[in-house]
């Protein structure tokens, strides 16, 4: 995905000047990190992302989010909307405290009972079928379960109750997207991995949150980890941002209640 975001051009572009900032969340792999799983909560991760953005003084941001990265990431623009220019949103949600489906509860229970979760097997199941070399690459940052604090804790952050951390700022963020004029429809691209049984059916509803609408594409073969189809998603997103629609496989989504 990153090479396409950096290098793909459209006929309408006169110059190419992009960079990608791709931070890891704490608790995923070999970097310095807290040793106690309890440290990894919504506020900890969100504060870290805000600090990163402010420390690097990032502006003109195209925010790319998926899964738990969306739970946190979609609450960032409300902090300083002037920094954010566009969104690429893949299978995720805005937390509300109402996500208590049986499938979600089963996933939380499974990860709670599997402290040494095999990251490669997870990616193989919920993403592309991986080669053995790719599996080794996914396992490399996680020599044993002490490197997997973030892996274990992210599912516990899913907001299934209204009093959970993150619900309040998530509701404010949803209201921000519903009311702001700072994001035109050509600035928001939503990609749905259709093979994701939990989030796939939800993505078109999420696409209707944005006040000015957005552009939306269904990636038929993609499962939960849509970024594994990143070249396709990135090309479509750039086409949307540079040519404002009329792209094969992309539809305009109007906000909820619009005629």
CATH, domain range 1-10+60-96+166-259: 3.40.50.1820
Q: Tell me which long-range contacts 75-81 makes (C-beta under 8 A, separation of at least 24).
A: 75/46, 75/166, 75/169, 75/170, 75/172, 75/173, 76/46, 76/49, 76/50, 77/173, 77/176, 78/169, 78/172, 78/173, 78/176, 79/50, 80/53, 80/54, 81/176, 81/180, 81/182
Q: Are 90 and 191 in contact (CB under 8 A)?
A: yes
- Identify which of 84, 79, 73, 11 has the alpha carbon closest to the alpha carbon of residue 46: 73
pLDDT at 244: 76
Exposed (0-12), middle (13-18) or buried (19+): which is 124, by Cβ within 10 Å?
A: middle
pLDDT at 254: 94
Q: Are 256 and 208 in contact (CB under 8 A)?
A: yes
Considering the candidates 32, 45, 51, 67, report the single residue annotated as catalytic: 67
Please compute, for residue 237, the number of CA atoms within 13 A of its CA located in the half-sphere on the CB side.
29
**Per 3-state DSSP, what percentage of the chain is helix, strand, and coil (rounded to 5)?**
45, 10, 45
Considering the candidates 145, 181, 196, 202, report the single residue annotated as catalytic: 196
Q: Ramachandran region of residue 49, left (φ > 0), alpha (ψ -120 to 50) or beta?
A: alpha
Question: Distance between CA atoms of 52 and 58, rounded to whole angstroms?
Answer: 8
Helix axes 119-126, 132-139, angle to 10 degrees: 130
pLDDT at 126: 81
pLDDT at 96: 86
> What's 245's DSSP letter?
S
Q: Enumerate the domain spans of the chain.
A: 1-10+60-96+166-259, 100-157
pLDDT at 30: 75
| Tokens describing residue 56 | 């690097």
- Identify which of 6, 216, 210, 247 has the alpha carbon closest to the alpha carbon of residue 90: 216
pLDDT at 27: 84
Answer yes or no: 224 catalytic.
yes
pLDDT at 15: 62
Answer yes or no: 43 catalytic.
no
Q: Ramachandran region of residue 246, left (φ > 0), alpha (ψ -120 to 50) or beta?
A: left
pLDDT at 245: 66
Question: Distance between CA atoms of 156 and 44, rounded to whole angstroms?
Answer: 14
Considering the candidates 128, 129, 144, 224, report the single residue annotated as catalytic: 224
Mean pLDDT by 10 residues, the chain (259 residues): 88 75 86 85 96 98 96 97 98 86 90 90 83 92 88 92 95 97 95 94 96 96 92 95 85 84
What's this model's pTM, rounded to 2 decimal places?
0.93
């Amino acid at each position: 995905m990153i090479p396409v975001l950096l290098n793909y051009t459209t006929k309408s572009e006169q110059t190419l000047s992009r960079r990608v900032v791709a931070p890891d969340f704490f608790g995923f792999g070999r970097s310095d990190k807290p040793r106690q799983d309890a440290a990894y909560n919504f506020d900890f991760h969100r504060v870290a992302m805000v600090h990163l953005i402010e420390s690097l003084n990032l502006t003109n941001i195209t925010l790319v989010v998926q899964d738990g990265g969306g739970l946190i990431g979609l609450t960032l623009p409300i902090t300083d909307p002037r920094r954010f220019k566009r969104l690429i949103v893949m299978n995720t949600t805005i937390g509300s405290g109402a996500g208590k489906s049986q499938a979600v509860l089963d996933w939380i229970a499974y990860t709670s009972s599997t402290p040494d979760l095999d990251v490669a097997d997870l990616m193989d199941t919920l993403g592309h079928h991986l080669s053995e070399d790719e599996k080794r690459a996914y396992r490399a940052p996680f020599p044993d379960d002490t490197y997997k604090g973030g892996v274990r804790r992210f599912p516990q952050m899913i907001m299934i109750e209204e009093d959970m951390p993150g619900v309040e700022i998530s509701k404010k963020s949803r209201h921000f997207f519903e009311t702001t004029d700072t994001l035109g429809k050509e600035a928001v691209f939503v990609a749905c991995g259709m093979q994701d049984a939990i989030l796939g059916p939800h993505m078109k509803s999420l696409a209707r949150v944005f006040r000015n609408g957005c552009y939306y594409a269904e990636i038929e073969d993609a499962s939960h980890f849509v970024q594994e189809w990143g070249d396709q998603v990135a090309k479509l997103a750039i086409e949307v941002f540079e040519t404002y629609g009329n792209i094969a496989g992309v539809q305009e989504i109007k906000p909820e209640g619009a005629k």
